[in-house]
C-alpha cells in the first residue's frame, strides 16, 4: 500500500516536471493553439468579397492613451481592407485614456474619412462587443460584413458572433497577428493568453446554456 502511494506520488511529480519542461521549451504551445485555430481567408480572398462594412473588435489598450499591439494590427488590417464608401465599425474599447478617441484618431491619421468610421457604445467583453456589432448590422440590414480580430481570439469570436448574427459573415484573423514568443517571458504571456481564451470559450458555453435564450 505504501509502495503504491509512493509510486503514485513520484508518477505525479514526474508528470508535472514533464509539463513544466514542455511549457518552458515551447513544444506544448502548438498543441494548445490547435483547438483555437480558425481557417481564415487570405487578404486577397477577403478583398474579392462584396462587402460594405468592416467590424474591428478591440484588443484593448497597452497603457494610458496607447492602443495595444493587437488592437493596432487589427486597425491596420481594416485599413488594408478599406475601400471607398465602406464603413469601419469599432466595437469594444478603443478609447485609451480619459475622453481620448484613440482608435478613431488612429484611422483618421491613416487617411480614413471620419464620416466612414462608426463607433459603437463602449463595451469591455467579447460577448458585448459581438452583440452590439450584430445589432448594428441587423438594424441597418448589412450583409456579408468582415469581422477582424486576432489569431488567438478568432475561435471565441466565431462562436459568439454567429449566435447573434445569423447571416453570412467573414472572419479575418491573419496568421501575421501571431507574435513571436521566443523567450521565457513571452512564453509565460502566451500561456496566460491561451488560458484566457479557453476560459472565455468555457464561459460562453456556460452563459449560453444558463442565461441566453
Report residue 142 as a C-alpha cell.
Answer: 448589412
Looking at the chain, the whole-number percentage of residues with pLDDT higher than 90 is 45
Residue 1 has pLDDT above 70, yes or no: no
Pick the range with the lowest mean pLDDT from 95-99, 131-135, 176-180.
176-180
Residue 53 has pLDDT above 90, yes or no: yes
Confidence of residue 50 (pLDDT cuts 50, 70, 90): very high
- 8 Å CB contact between 154 and 36: yes
Query: N- to C-terminal Cα distance for the chain?
Result: 52
Q: Can you give the pLDDT at residue 19? A: 60
Residue 13 has pLDDT above 60, yes or no: yes
Phi, psi of 130 (to 5 degrees): -65, -40
**pTM of the complete model:** 0.83
Number of alpha carbons in the 13 Å side-chain half-sphere of residue 74 = 34
Confidence of residue 2 (pLDDT cuts 50, 70, 90): low
Q: Can you give the pLDDT at residue 193? A: 85
| C-alpha–C-alpha distance, residues 182 and 176, integer Å | 15
Q: Which domains does the chain have, with CATH numbers?
A: 35-179 (3.40.50.620)
Amino acid at each position: 500500500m505504501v509502495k503504491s502511494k509512493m509510486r503514485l506520488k513520484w508518477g505525479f511529480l514526474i508528470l508535472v516536471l514533464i509539463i513544466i519542461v514542455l511549457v518552458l521549451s515551447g513544444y506544448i504551445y502548438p498543441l494548445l493553439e490547435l483547438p483555437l485555430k480558425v481557417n481564415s481567408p487570405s487578404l486577397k480572398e477577403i478583398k474579392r468579397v462584396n462587402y460594405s462594412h468592416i467590424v474591428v473588435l478591440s484588443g484593448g489598450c497597452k497603457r494610458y492613451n496607447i492602443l495595444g499591439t493587437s488592437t493596432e494590427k487589427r486597425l491596420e488590417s481594416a485599413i488594408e481592407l478599406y475601400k471607398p464608401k465602406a464603413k469601419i465599425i469599432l466595437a469594444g474599447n478603443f478609447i485609451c485614456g480619459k475622453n481620448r478617441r484613440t482608435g478613431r484618431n488612429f484611422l483618421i491619421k491613416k487617411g480614413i474619412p471620419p464620416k466612414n468610421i462608426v463607433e459603437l457604445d463602449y463595451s469591455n467583453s467579447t460577448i458585448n462587443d459581438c452583440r452590439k456589432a450584430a445589432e448594428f448590422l441587423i438594424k441597418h440590414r448589412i450583409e456579408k460584413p468582415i469581422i477582424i480580430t486576432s489569431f488567438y481570439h478568432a475561435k471565441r469570436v466565431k462562436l459568439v458572433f454567429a449566435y447573434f448574427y445569423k447571416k453570412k459573415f467573414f472572419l479575418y484573423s491573419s496568421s501575421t497577428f501571431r507574435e513571436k514568443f521566443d523567450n521565457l517571458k513571452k512564453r509565460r504571456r502566451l500561456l496566460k493568453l491561451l488560458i484566457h481564451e479557453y476560459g472565455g470559450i468555457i464561459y460562453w458555453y456556460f452563459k449560453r446554456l444558463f442565461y441566453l435564450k
